[in-house]
Structure 1
Amino acid sequence: MANYIQEIRQLVGHRPLILNAAGAILINDQQEVLLNLRTDTHNWSLPGGFLEYGETFDAACVREYKEDAGIDVEIIRPLGIFDQGFTTYPNGDQTQVISRLYLVKQVGGQPLETATDETLDLKYFPFDQLPPLLNQQTADMLAAGKTYFETVKTY
């Protein structure tokens, strides 16, 4: 069912919704994490997004990474579930997002070089020099990624 979230929003307006999402951490050789500058909120987040009806977390992660970043990814491992993603978007929509976070590696595609309807820019950042983020959940996910790499030091 395409555009599931849009269909739900047409029925409930801006009322708070609990939604499921998948996002991922992709790092470069300098141990920097890829973030995308969002068109809706004009701050940074991990590439990822909401599940469509009937979709798995894994499939949503791969699909959303391609949509948000232009990159084909393979999931290496899950890094956690985060359930405190409260956001009020500029259009008034309110959500609590339950997100599954993954570690991924690039297996194809090229990073987007021009803006899209969801992404204004892509950039790698050191874990300790992050730009303004979407919400606390994004910060929590990045902290989990930083801890993972400090502990494991590899994919």
Structure 2
Amino acid sequence: MAKDYVSMIRSMVGHTPIIMNTACGILLNDRGQVLLNLRTDTHNWSLPGGYLEYGETYAQACVREYKEDSGIDVEIVRFLKIFDQGEVHYPNGDVTQTISALYQVKQIGGQVLQSATDETVKLAYFDFDQLPPLLNQQTADMLAYAAEKLG
């Protein structure tokens, strides 16, 4: 539904910048490293998460998108913060300002994807002070916030 919703909006506005709501989660391993996914669309790293579907809450989107992006079933531990200064420039020319809800999550099932999907090339855990090239400044801000609050 989310891709259909985004496609519908894009069919009306073309590449005009739009505001989109997203949700993502911070999952730490036992070494305090954070799980990130290498994206297929922009070829850089971000937190597992994505756009809300119409009628969905931020928390519901976080759980759903985390499973889609990583293969891991999570539950929300706690809400951390809203980040509203994010802009993404996609290779196809689309531009979005993202309003992102950040959650701390814990794994309750599933396992890390072992092969690429249409959204994720691979997943890896990183130390907060040794992060790979990130999607945007908002992702960097979310990770800095999480490192301060959870690290």
TM over 0.5: yes
SS at match of 1:19: strand
Q: Quick one: distance in 2 between partners of 1:141 and 1:4?
A: 26
C-alpha contact (below 8 Å) 1:21/1:98 kept by paired residues: yes
**1:145 matched to 2:137:** no
Gap runs ≥5 in structure 2: none
Secondary structure at the counterpart of residue 82 of structure 2: strand
After TM superposition, what 4+ stretches of structure 1 lie above 4 angstroms from structure 2? none
Q: Deviations over 1:125-153 (max 9, x none)?
A: 00000000000000000001100124xxx
Partner of 2:127: 126
| Deviation of the 1:31 alpha carbon | 0.1
Matches within 5 A, 1:50-129: 50-129=51-130
Instruction: Name the residue aligned to 2:46.
Output: 45
Checking the alignment, whether the CA contact within 8 Å between 1:5 and 1:52 is kept in structure 2 is no
Matched with 1:7 is 8
Q: Distance in 1 between matches of 2:42 and 2:26?
A: 20
**TM-score normalised by length of structure 2:** 0.97
Q: Deviations over 1:10-39 (max 9, x none)?
A: 111110000000001000000000000000
Cα deviation for residue 87 of structure 1 reads 1.3
Equivalent position amino acid for 1:51 in 2: L
Q: Given the two structures, how large is their TM-score scaled by the length of structure 1?
A: 0.95
CA–CA separation in structure 2 for the residues paired with 1:49 and 1:92 = 18
> 1:49 & 1:106 partners in 2: Cα distance?
18
Q: Percent identity?
A: 69
Partners of 1:25 and 1:103 within 8 A in 2: yes
Distance in 1 of aligned mates of 2:45 and 2:110: 21
- What is the CA distance between 1:6 and its match in structure 2? 1.3
Number of residue pairs the alignment of both structures matches: 150
CA distance in 2, matches of 1:117, 1:11: 24
